[in-house]
């Protein structure tokens, strides 16, 4: 349920409401707006009696049920955008951050090269999988711990925060030690044990949409993370399965404005995996930004033809540079700020 405080309520009244919420075994989420303070009380199905109890507390204006199955992710509980901060800038609330790098960390040289040029072209985050979820058990599975160490070195050298995928609950602690943000892949988007495990970590989570997930299911997956106390979640639309076979997946551009009408969480677009081919990546990336995305996560490789995974969709450096040039112009027209690293 959502508790709307009266205008001019006192701090003591707010504290009492929070204490009462905890007393009945619910989780409080305070959201202070300019005009009103809202307190989400998150728990299972509040009874009319419980709602009446809160209505009677001093300083409370109204108690209303939250209509959506997801609570902490909803705009009802937090009616303003979540803005996440990284050393290179922000994402959300008009700030756009672009993460880029290879699909997988393959070598020190490959990753450092990519890190240097994505930074030079204005990316605010380095991506690269150290643990790769592959459809075939015989395909390149990533360098594991060695890959994490390479990412850490790339961060030390460039100052770019790094995002990398975590595949299982057991891996969360290790990956969180090295990464600035944890990626949950499309194939794990409903791995509830994994979602709960990253919910215990104090690092941002990039949650990819599962390839056959509805937007409501996507938000429920985010809710699994939020409900464990980690409010730093970024939703990533990365294409869904449709009858179309030309592209690898169908980028659901509409997911961006639709999600934003339901949630305060930043919404990003991954144009690489739906495209499947590099020639289609730039237009999909621009479409994502035009639709209102707060960030992109793009695959680029110093020598894409030699990549050990997703070779066909990774951009060459010059193509990534072109994407960044176009993105900057588009964001200017949209009155948005690109969070870029300080070069030097
Ligand atoms: C990736 O980012 O390389 C990846 C495997 O993405 P997804 O989980 O969206 O397929
Ligand atoms: Mn990939």
**pLDDT per residue over 111-147, tens digit each?**
999 999 999 999 999 999 999 999 999 999 999 999 9
pLDDT of residue 265: 98
Residue of 106, 147, 208 to mutate, ligand 1, most atoms within 8 A of C-beta:
208
Residue with CA nearest ligand 1 atom 1: 103
Task: Residue 296: count other Cβ atoms within 10 Å of its Cβ.
Answer: 27
In a domain, 76, yes or no: no
Instruction: Please check whether residue 307 lies inside any domain of the structure.
Output: yes
- Domain boundary among the residues 11, 31, 64 is at 64
Tell whether 9 and 46 lie within a shared domain. yes
pLDDT at 33: 82
> Average pLDDT, stretch 316-341?
97
1 has pLDDT over 80: yes
Q: Which ligand is nearest to the CA of 134?
A: 1
> For the chain, how many structural domains are there in total?
2
At residue 302's C-alpha, the angle toward residues 103 and 173, to 5°, is 35
Instruction: Measure 136 CA to ligand 1 centroid, in angstroms.
Output: 14
**pLDDT score at 342:** 84
* Contact between residue 36 and residue 5 where contact means Cβ atoms under 8 Å apart: yes
User: Measuring from atom 8 of ligand 1, which residue has the nearest CA?
Assistant: 185
User: What is the pTM for the complete model shown?
Assistant: 0.95
- Residue by residue, DSSP assigns 80-126 as S---EEETTEEEBTTEEEEEEE-SB---HHHHHHHHHHHHHTT-SEE
Query: Last residue of a domain, which of 32, 64, 96?
Result: 64
- Give residue 34's pLDDT: 80
Ligand 1 proximity of 276 Cβ (cutoff 6 Å):
no
What share of the chain in percent tops pLDDT 90? 94
Q: Which of 99, 218, 238 to mutate to test the pocket of ligand 1 (most atoms within 8 A of CB)?
A: 238
The pLDDT score that the predictor gives to residue 186 is 98
**Which pLDDT value is given to residue 153?**
98
Q: What is the pLDDT of residue 36?
A: 86
User: 238 CB under 6 A from ligand 1?
Assistant: yes
pLDDT at 45: 81
Domain hosting 41: range is 2-64
Distance 169 CA to ligand 2 centre (A): 21
Query: Hey, which of 101, 167, 183, 250 would you mutate to test ligand 1's pocket, going by the most ligand atoms within 8 Å of its Cβ?
Result: 183
Q: Are residues 13 and 111 in the same domain?
A: no
Mean pLDDT value across the chain:
96
Does 77 fall in a domain? no
3-state SS class at 200: coil
Percent of the chain with pLDDT over 70: 100
Report yes or no on 170 lying in a domain.
Answer: yes
Q: Which CATH number covers residue 41? A: 3.30.70.1140
Cα 128 to averaged position of ligand 1 atoms, centre (Å): 10
Q: In a mutational test of the pocket of ligand 1, which residue from 270, 298, 314 has the highest number of ligand atoms less than 8 Å from its CB?
A: 270
Position 110 scores a pLDDT of: 98
The DSSP bridge partners found for residue 285 are none
Residue whose Cα lies nearest atom 6 of ligand 1: it is 185
Is any ligand 1 atom within 6 A of the Cβ of residue 127?
no
Neighbours of 308 (CB within 10 A): 20
Distance from Cα 167 to the centre of ligand 2, integer Å: 14
Burial of 110 (0-12, 13-18, 19+ CB in 10 A): buried
Domain for residue 316, yes or no?
A: yes
Q: Can you give the pLDDT at residue 67?
A: 85
Write out pLDDT tens, residues 243-265.
Answer: 999 999 999 999 999 999 999 99
Q: How confident is the model at residue 52 (pLDDT cuts 50, 70, 90)?
A: very high
Residue 335 in any domain: the answer is yes
The answer to whether residues 287 and 327 belong to one domain is yes
**Predicted local distance difference test score (pLDDT) of residue 166:** 98
CATH number at residue 131: 3.20.20.70
pLDDT in tens, 67-126: 899 999 999 999 999 999 999 999 999 999 999 999 999 999 999 999 999 999 999 999
269 lines ligand 1 (CB under 6 A): no
43 and 142 part of one domain: no
- Residue 20 sits in the same domain as residue 107: no
CA of 186 to the centre of ligand 1 (A): 6
């Amino acid at each position: 349920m959502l508790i709307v405080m009266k205008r001019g309520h006192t701090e003591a009244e707010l504290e009492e409401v929070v204490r009462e919420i905890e007393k009945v075994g619910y989780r409080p989420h305070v959201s202070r707006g300019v005009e009103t303070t809202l307190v989400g009380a998150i728990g299972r199905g509040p009874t009319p009696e419980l709602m009446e109890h809160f209505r009677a507390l001093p300083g409370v204006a109204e108690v209303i049920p939250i209509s959506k199955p997801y609570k902490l992710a909803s705009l009802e509980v937090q009616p303003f955008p979540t803005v996440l901060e990284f050393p290179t800038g922000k994402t959300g609330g008009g700030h756009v951050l672009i993460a880029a790098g290879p699909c997988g960390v393959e070598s020190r040289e490959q990753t450092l090269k990519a890190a240097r040029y994505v930074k030079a072209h204005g990316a605010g985050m380095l991506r690269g999988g150290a643990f790769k979820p592959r459809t075939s058990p015989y395909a390149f599975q990533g360098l594991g711990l060695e890959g994490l160490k390479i990412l850490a070195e790339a961060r030390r050298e460039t100052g770019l925060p790094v995002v990398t995928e975590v595949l299982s609950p057991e891996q969360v602690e290790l990956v969180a030690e090295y990464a600035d943000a944890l990626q949950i892949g499309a194939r794990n988007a409903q791995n509830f044990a994994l979602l709960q495990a990253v919910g215990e970590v104090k690092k941002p989570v990039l949650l990819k949409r599962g390839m056959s997930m509805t937007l409501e299911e996507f938000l429920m997956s985010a809710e699994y993370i939020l409900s464990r106390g980690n409010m730093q979640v970024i939703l990533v639309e990365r294409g869904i399965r449709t009858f179309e076979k030309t592209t690898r997946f169908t980028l659901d551009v509409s997911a961006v404005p639709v999600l934003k009408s339901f949630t305060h969480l930043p919404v990003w677009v991954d144009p690489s995996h739906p495209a499947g081919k590099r020639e289609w990546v730039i237009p999909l990336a621009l479409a994502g930004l035009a639709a209102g995305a707060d960030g992109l996560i793009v695959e680029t490789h110093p020598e894409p033809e030699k990549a050990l995974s997703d070779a066909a969709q990774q951009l060459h450096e010059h193509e990534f540079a072109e994407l960044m040039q176009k993105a900057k112009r588009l964001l200017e027209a949209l009155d948005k700020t690109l969070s870029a690293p300080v070069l030097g």
